Amino acid sequence: MSSVTTAQSSSGFGLDHLPYGIFSTADGPRRVGVRLEDRVLDLAAATGRAELARPSLNDFMALGHDAWQELRDSLPGLLGTGDHQHRLADVELHLPIEVGDYVDFYASEHHASNVGRIFRPDQEPLLPNWKHLPVGYHGRSGTVVASGTEIIRPQGQRKAPDATAPTFGPSQRLDIEAELGFVVGTPSRLGEPVSTADFVRHTFGVVGLNDWSARDIQAWEYVPLGPFLGKSFATSISHWVTPLAALDAAWTELPGQDDPEVLDYLRVDGPAGLDIDVEVVLDGEVVSRPPYRTMYWSPAQMLAHTTVNGATVRTGDLWGSGTISGPGRDERGSLLELSWGGKEPFTVAGRERTFLEDGDEVTLRYTAPSTGGGRLSLGEVVGRIAPARTARL
Amino acid sequence: MSSVTTAQSSSGFGLDHLPYGIFSTADGPRRVGVRLEDRVLDLAAATGRAELARPSLNDFMALGHDAWQELRDSLPGLLGTGDHQHRLADVELHLPIEVGDYVDFYASEHHASNVGRIFRPDQEPLLPNWKHLPVGYHGRSGTVVASGTEIIRPQGQRKAPDATAPTFGPSQRLDIEAELGFVVGTPSRLGEPVSTADFVRHTFGVVGLNDWSARDIQAWEYVPLGPFLGKSFATSISHWVTPLAALDAAWTELPGQDDPEVLDYLRVDGPAGLDIDVEVVLDGEVVSRPPYRTMYWSPAQMLAHTTVNGATVRTGDLWGSGTISGPGRDERGSLLELSWGGKEPFTVAGRERTFLEDGDEVTLRYTAPSTGGGRLSLGEVVGRIAPARTARL
């Protein structure tokens, strides 16, 4: 009768993981489920709790850290009965959270340096503020979509360097950004900053995140107020949210923040980075393996920075790490870097590639060490590029 | 028995206006009200409709343009009975909308030119993209607050031009931005741009908006991804949302977009600007009168631009015009411009002033021509500066 497996799971979805998501069946509404191996436990049915019968995780996340832990502690028992379970193949998965504010950071030194070298080859690759604060900006929360959602090639203005005026049309430099996303559970109050030590109390969990980017649109628009339409058409996140409690074995030291030292509100004690491996898969071939442990800024620092001016965080707020790139050529988390601004094509399945083509499918996969000794598979992020809808304009 | 007044009202809140808001009384929950003179009609009670018994206007706004017009047509009749009305002084007013995405533009040529002259005195005041597209960026929707909310002076990093490293502390250059805000009612679909002609179908109404800005924090953080903590601590909007239908007499021609001509998706037919007058009141004295009719980019163009890449708009999305500044010295919508970067103090109540001081109260007032021949008073925006909460860090 028991359907509980051992903690160590070759699938990455064993009892040591138990990520949450929103699912529906043909005969029922969207509700909260938890994944074990290739099954989904209907938590609304299994617990009878109203906050788990909702179309997003938000009401549950808003209950706070103790409630998260209490439910997690009860899951082996609930799963052990074998009741209220569906085969993963029989359910439809949805966007897991109702997104409040979406903030995207720029926390990889290797990524920021690469971008600097590509666009400003004669200058210092990092801008003066970069090592003093985690640079970030607000993205569009209304276009955060679930893994699997078709990505329609955006149209917009772009101007060639030697052109006198911009032209309008489909983006010719459509790109990915392989990122990790963090989801706020417990809200904060206006005027009360969240310290780096309070990160665990406010953060519910982690998602995979692909911050689709139209580099040509972005290049023309972004001075002086930052990226807007070059990013706002779509941001994909995984169906599954890995609770922070499942990542206890993944914490690792940051690469180092000695020169310069950070200001007090950005200080962290102990391991503040995460040893999460990422794979970027383009049309079935792994083209890059960005290592999250190489990120300069930690998630706790991003949260502390976001709120140090007194701004609140709300349940459902999402922040992205920014593109994850390691030091190696095969550790770059964007096609901009992999093709060095489009000038050095790379080979996928025997073809030379730079930016995304219509019909391309991109999958981001994430794994993390487990307390059980194996590895967790975090929720993957899939997106296929559909042609621009030129006829509509 | 009738409490209906004539259409022309010296208060600006006559039958020709009828703005919507969210109110509560000591014995009841937040619900939708409409204002006539110094009274508020309880629309939940007067109509019995569920979407008007909500704590935000969103459910009503989501019904779409025909439903907005139908309710507006019924208001004189509902108000004529005298039932379900409260004195304005007896109710509490709240944030009128649940904000989806908040986008802030930069649509005043005079403002953008002034900022260019202040920060880049040796260069062209306008950047190359400025007349080709309405420059905008996403702000923080979670910190959009109702008029009257105390504004706590933000803390953060700022670096003096001659300093080698940033320091942390309360902003020393706290500023206002006098803007007009637009609220989306009818959502759009992913991949389907909203044309300039569809502006009226998607836009529910107009609010007053003060985009509080910490210039020193902003200056240090904003390259290359735009403003973040310099803006995200608070954005105040008016309690009252003026429906677009009340502004029929306010439409006016844009100042001109001939050089360069705009791309097709940004073209507008007929009067696309709004003849709205703004007053900036600092500690009881009018310090500026920015004219909205001088704005280069129209609200319909901002909406079309926001969606041209396929991004959706949602019910409750808010966009700000950017600081409204006219050509005159006394028509500037920010203290940055009024004090020319802090270098040319101006006098208020006999004292020399540059940026905001603790205890300052700022009120933004807006009026627009009415179809009745008088003027409407749009919802005002009030905020008082409270000292930074330095003890908390």
DSSP string, A210-276: E--EEHHHHHHH-TTT--STTTTT-EEE-S-BEEGGGGGGGEE--S--BTTBPPGGG---S--EE--
Going by C-alpha positions, the residue among A37, A36, A70 that lies closest to residue A51 is A70
Q: B53 by DSSP, 3-state: which?
A: coil
What is d(CA A311, CA A301) in angstroms, rounded to the nearest whole number?
15
| B39-42 and A155-158 strand pairing | unpaired
> Using alpha carbons only, what angle is made at residue A311 by residues A305 and A313, rounded to the nearest 5 degrees?
85
Q: Where are the beta strands (DSSP E) in A39-140?
A: 39-42, 85-87, 92-94, 102-105, 136-139
pLDDT value of residue B392 = 52
Task: Give the list of residues 6+ apart from residue A352 with CB closer than 8 angstroms, or none.
Answer: A345, A346
Which letter does DSSP use for residue B264 in this model?
Answer: G
At B103-142, the pLDDT tens digits run: 999 999 999 999 999 999 999 999 999 999 999 999 999 9
Q: Which residues of B touch A100 (CB under 8 A)?
A: 141-142
- Cβ B106–A140 below 8 Å, yes or no? no
Give Cα A247 distance to the centre of its chain.
Answer: 15
Per the DSSP assignment, residues forming a β-bridge with A18 are: none
At B291-332, the pLDDT tens digits run: 999 999 999 999 999 999 999 999 999 999 999 999 999 999
Q: Which residues of B touch A139 (CB under 8 A)?
A: 138
Domains of chain A, CATH where assigned: 20-94 (2.30.30.230), 102-392 (3.90.850.10)
Distances (CA, A) of B161 to B165, B166, B216, B219: 10, 10, 10, 10
What is d(CA A84, CA A41) in angstroms, rounded to the nearest whole number?
6
Per the DSSP assignment, residues forming a β-bridge with B29 are: none
Residue A231 marked in a binding site: yes
Tokens of residue B116, six digits? 């260019």
Residue A106 marked in a binding site: yes
What is d(CA B278, CA B297) in angstroms, rounded to the nearest whole number?
17
Going residue by residue through chain A (393 aa), what tens digit of pLDDT does each one get? 344 444 557 889 999 999 999 999 998 999 999 999 999 999 999 999 999 999 999 999 999 999 999 999 999 999 999 999 999 999 999 999 999 999 999 999 999 999 999 999 999 999 999 999 999 999 999 999 999 999 999 999 999 989 999 999 999 999 999 999 999 999 999 999 999 999 999 999 999 999 999 999 999 999 999 999 999 999 999 999 999 999 999 999 999 999 999 999 999 999 999 999 999 999 999 999 999 999 999 999 999 999 999 999 999 999 999 999 999 999 999 999 999 999 999 999 999 999 999 999 999 999 999 998 999 999 999 999 999 998 655
Residue A129: which of B145, B192, B220 has the nearest Cβ? B220
Question: Which of A157, A309, A385 should one mutate to test binding to chain B, selecting the residue with the greatest count of B CBs within 10 A?
Answer: A309
What is d(CA B313, CA A381) in angstroms, rounded to the nearest whole number?
24
Residue A92 marked in a binding site: no
What is d(CA A222, CA B337) in angstroms, rounded to the nearest whole number?
23
Q: For residue B333, is it left (φ>0), alpha (ψ between -120 and 50) or beta?
A: alpha
CA distance A233 to chain B (A): 4
What is d(CA A271, CA A261) in angstroms, rounded to the nearest whole number?
17
ipTM of this complex? 0.96
Does A148 lie at the interface with B, CB-CB under 8 angstroms?
A: no
Residue B157: which of A133, A222, A389 has the nearest Cβ? A133
Does B306 lie at the interface with A, CB-CB under 8 angstroms?
A: yes
Quickly list H helices, A38-101: 43-47, 58-61, 65-80
**Over residues B140-152, mean pLDDT:** 98
Q: Are B138 and A136 contacting, i.e. CB atoms less than 8 angstroms apart? A: no
Buried b (16+ CB within 10 A) or exposed e, A66-82: ebbeebeeebeebbeee
Does A29 lie at the interface with B, CB-CB under 8 angstroms?
A: no
What is d(CA B62, CA B315) in angstroms, rounded to the nearest whole number?
6
Which letter does DSSP use for residue A209 in this model?
Answer: E
